[in-house]
Every structure is written in C-alpha cells, then in structure tokens.
Chains A and B, each alone.
Chain A
C-alpha cells in the first residue's frame, strides 16, 4: 500500500476517534459542573481539565484567557481556529477520506461526508440545552463510522491502519482523562465512599462508557483504585489501555514487510506491561507517573509507526 494512503487512513480514523473523545470529555465536564465540588475557584479549575486532556490549553489561553464554561465548550466543539476542535477533527477526517477515496468503501465515504455536511448545517452558536444532543450526535456518528467500516471494508491492511489510528488515539485519550481527572479528584481521596466522590468518579466512568460495567464487575463503592484498574488493566473494557494495546499490537502484526520491527517491539512491550501488570504497582509508582510513562511510550510508538510505514523519506537513498 502507498505510504500516503496508509497515512491518510491512519489519520482519518484518529480524527474521528478524537472528535468522539472530545465530545466525551466535554460531555462529562458539563455533567460534572452541575455537581458540588469542594475546591476553591472550582469553576475555572474544572474547565481547565478538558483543555488539558485534549492538549489545547495553551491555544485557548492565548485566545480567551481564563477558562469559562461556555467559551471552553465553543472553543473545543466548534471553533475552526482550534485544530483540535470537534469541527476541525471532522473536517480533517473528511479531507483524509477524500484523499483516499479508492481505498475506503463508498459507504464509509458517505458517512464521513454526510457528517461533515450535517455539521455545517448546525448553528455556529449552540444553546446550552442543545449541547447534550450535539455530544450524543458526535458519538453516534463515530459509532456509525466504526460500524460501517467493519461492515463493509475488506480485511486487509487498510483496515489494519484504520485500527491503529483508532486505538492509539483511544489509548492516548483514556490515559489523559484518567490522569487529569485523578489530579482534580485527589483532594477528596480521604473522602472515599462519600456522596460527592461517588458522583465525581461516576461521571468519569460515564465519560468512557464504563459506569455500568463498574457496577457489574465490582458491585461496590466506587474507589479510585478500582476505577483505574478497570480503565488500565482490564482487557474486557473496550476503552481500557490494555484493550487498546491488544488491538494496536494485533494490527501491527497484520502489516507485512520488513520495516516496522521497532514499532512491533514497542507495542509488544507496552502490551506485555499491561497484560502482566498489577494496579498496585501503578499506584506504588504513583498513578500520574505511571500514566505519564504510558503516554510517552505511546508517543514513541506513534513516531515509529510514522517512520516505518507512513512517511515518504527516500529510504533507498539513506541506506
């Protein structure tokens, strides 16, 4: 497969997944903001979280200064100037798809194209009560895209690169949500089992569609350690780090060729650490440190994948 084609497939999937994750992050920020939180200046503090998770705090501060609910929401959802906004992600996904029309099915193209056309029919400023609908819509379009992809595309390396993009982005996002949320919620750790704690951790679980799973698996009060275990170690949770790295590793094994050995090695190593790791060890190291390591390794892996498969360096010349 052409490297450029693989590159566009990879980023098309990443951009869709990123749009969905941003919708999830904003969704939970909105529900959390309705809850009591015992922190001074909690509002601004709270609204930095989604900016930090998606890595667009700097761009926001330059443009708007202090974090405010409505401004942050607009910046992350619909601002075309923010390259990480939902709007920008869906635009970029469509550009990626358009560049590789021949490599995806017409059904996939139609979902992506329709999504973009519908997004442009939405009003530029959104009413507060419409936000929930909007986040749901973004999530649904992403679900639809994944379903259509699995239902129509041939199982070849095009699908492998789509999976790589999807699950690397998702792993990255779950790790960031957990890291940032854990940081915010830390002050109330002594208060484990309290009502506020229940709601706060509950909303984090909901943001990654894991609330119901938690109740089924643990049938107990929500504790930070168990939430972390669920989202990091358990491989039966579709958004956990372990489950994502399962998919990343198997997608890499599906791609033939001599290049990419280092990428496969890194993915295997990361996968093994999750497969054999215990949550106690992560807490002994410090969850923040553990997640920072994970994010660094994921970034390293992305770079390796880019160099091995997606870039257009004159490899013969550098031999």
Chain B
C-alpha cells in the first residue's frame, strides 16, 4: 500500500487559519512548556505499564507473537462540551431507532408494510433470524451494548461509519487508556475539567440488571467468553472483574428444563443474564452451528422461554449489516418522527446495476467494503491502493457484486499523535459505547482509534491502528 496523503482534512487541534482551537489551548500550552524528551519518556513508561498488566490483544493470523500490545498514544483527543452534547443526542437517537427497528421486524414489521424498507432487504438477509419472530424481550431492547463508529470531516460534520450491534469491543481500552493517562499526567487532569468515564462498568451492570427476565429481582449476571485464546479475552476478563461477576465459557453452563445453570464448587447455580461475547452462530450448537464447542446446548430454548436474557439479543446483525445501514436515517424518521442528528456516509449498493457501473468506473477514489465484513478485513481503500490491488479487488466484486458496498474516501480528521518525528497529525475515528436498558445511556467519551502510519486511513487494531484517551471537557 502506498501512502498517498489526503491533502485536505479537518485538524482537531488547529483551525484553518493555523490557530489552535480553543478547546486545545490549555493542552497546547502545557505541551509547549514540556521539557524536551518528556513525552517520549512517559510514552516508554506507558508501554511498560500495559505490558506488565498484560493488556494484550491477539491478532488473527499472527502466529509467533500471538499476544500483542495495541499501541497506545499518549496525546489525548479532546472534545468540547457542546460538541459532545450534540454527538450524545445523535447517538441516543440512532440507537433508539435501531432497537425499535429490531423489535418491529421481529414482530409486526410495520416498517416493511409502510414501504420504507423492502421485505427482501430484511427477510432474505443472512443475519435475519426467523427464530426470533414473535419473541418478546424485556424493554424491547435487542442491542443492549452498541458501538457506533463515527468519523469527523469538518467542525460540525460527523458521519456514522457503521453501527456495531453484535459484540462490539474496545471499551476496556477506553477505561485503561484513561487510567494510564491519569497516572502519567496527573497535572493535566488538574488543569482540565474532564468528564469521567470510570463508571462505565457500573452503568453496564445497571443495563444488564434491567435486561433480566421480569420477576427476577436480583439476577445472577455473567460475562460469557469464547475463551482465553479469543482476541478480546482481556476485555472479557476485565469487564467481569470490574462488574464483580463470573467470567464463564460455554462449557461452564448447561440447560435443564429451559433454565440455564453454571457449574460451581457449590453445585449448579441458575444464571439470569448472559453478557455474551460469543457470536450468534456459536452460542447454541442445537440451533446454530452444530460444530460449535463454545456454546451451550439448549441455550436458545431457555432464551425463547424467557428464563434467561442474552445481551446483546439474538438476531441484531440484521440491523448493523452494511446494506441495512443505508436505511437508518429512514428508521429514525419512521420510528421517532425526528430528523437524524448524525449523518450517514453516502453509500452505493453494488447489488444495484447503476451503482455498480458507477463504482467500477471510480474504484481508485472510493472505499469498498464487504457488506457483512468487520474489523477492517477485506476492504479496499482506493486512493492508497496500487493498480494491482484494485484490479484484483475488481475481480472479487464482479464475482458477487451484492456482497459489497462503496463509499467515498472520507477525509478522516487528524489528531496530534506522538510519532518518531515528534507530534504530528494522524487520522482518527471514534467509537462511543451506547447502553440501552430501561433508558439509553453513555459515558462522555469513547475509544478513539488512530491510524499510526502517515496518511493511512485504516484505524482498526487488527490492521496496526492504535488508541488514544478521549476527553470530553466539562462546561
């Protein structure tokens, strides 16, 4: 991949006239006063902290060093209070609509009847779960935890890149990044009034409690992980211990008379809420993939009977799929009667012949993604790809156009980042975590991901991206 740099992008720290944006002023002042080499020294300290704590991330396909650190950048990304308030409103609005959509399509399908979205788009989607039809969930919430990926292209222009409604990860980095920053730069936290994020686990626990089957006043909650070899295992263990609940694997549980139990040293104990970090396909070998050893036979039976809650619910994938993404603004209008606060990125669907021919003619300018892909795997970033890469990708598109969507190459905003040559802008995105129980809540902040190589637009940790602490300043 060559590194053609996008010439024009929004700089988080500097305004167009070269002046430091107001919210970055105190930080910039502090940075200027800092003796040479201090940033580099504290950076080395941070790396040591992460390594010793074992905050690692396994990357698929890397064999020799399976446990790798996600690079942590010590320059924070800063939001002003009013900027954040607008984002927060937009995020809550979007997630409410997405949950309303999921409830609707698994019940009366009003949105299809109204002709807002066609039946084929929903019912023939591989991620639609007919088994969920007519199943009632507490609070009508399907996606209890949503990770919404945002990018900024201008002062007041944010786009939603994608909605993650299955098992979004990364929140442990948001929390550990903050802890590390407070330890490395206590003086900055005195200088700035920064909204806390540390109460996220408590908020998550509240959300999971509210997800419990009705009639259960003191639910037993667990975090379910695929196991120690999963790439996000650290996060699963971290969240379980922060919430003070058991971290279980499929093999720790069994189903008896439509109730779920876990094996404990004191005998079987019933489980009411499972915060599962295992995909639908693997949670119950009797219903989904029979070869799955990660799941619990009979779990879906217990779920349909209302004896156990799963967070997130089953069948949420149909709403975060990249072809359904197109309809989210319509969902907001349809269910909430409001205009969307956050915009969608203009998107071409390659299943449509007109869109396909336009996209094929403009591949070097566009970003192409697989409709059901995630994690930055299998995508093409036109402007930074070689002719050969584009040619090879074109063959993949032609083989099965409906599997792909295309979007313009967005000029992701740049945020100051510590790199070898000093502090320089690198492209960032943002993933806030939106929780839905009886109400919709989120902490003020999120995970900022940063593409560490110059000019790169791919921020995914699996593709060499790093993370930053995200500050929301108090009013």
- List A residues at the B interface (Cβ < 8 Å): 1-6, 95, 98-99, 101-102, 106, 109-110, 113, 157, 161, 255-259, 309-317
Contact = CB atoms under 8 A, between A and B. Distances in A.
A4 B54 contact: no
Contacts of A101: 54, 237
A244 B391 CA distance: 70
Contacts of B252: 2-4, 312
B126 interface: no
B215 interface: no
Majority SS of interface residues in chain B? mixed
Contacts of A113: 54
A3 B263 contact: yes
Nearest to A98: B228
Contact of B54 (A2, A109, A313): A109
B276 to A, nearest CB: 16
Q: How large is the interface on B (under 10, 10 to 19, 20 to 34, 35 or more residues)?
A: 20 to 34
Interface in B49-83: 52-54
Interface stretch (B92-100, B265-273, B299-307, B381-389): B265-273
Contacts of A310: 265
A159 to B, nearest CB: 13
Nearest to A113: B54
Nearest to A160: B265
The 9 A-B pairs with the shortest beta carbon distances in the complex, nearest first, are A257-B266, A3-B263, A102-B241, A309-B265, A312-B263, A316-B256, A1-B265, A314-B254, A99-B228
Contacts of A258: 266-267
12 contacts: A1-B266, A5-B246, A99-B227, A101-B237, A102-B237, A102-B240, A109-B54, A113-B54, A256-B266, A259-B267, A314-B254, A315-B263
B149 interface: no
Nearest to A161: B265
A106 B256 contact: no
A2 B240 contact: no
B247 interface: yes
A2 B268 CA distance: 9
Given A4-B249, A101-B237, A102-B247, A316 B268 contact: yes
B265 A157 contact: yes
Nearest to B238: A102
Contacts of B241: 102
A113 B248 CA distance: 22
A312 B237 contact: no
Contact of A1 (B53, B256, B264): B264
B64 to A, nearest CB: 12
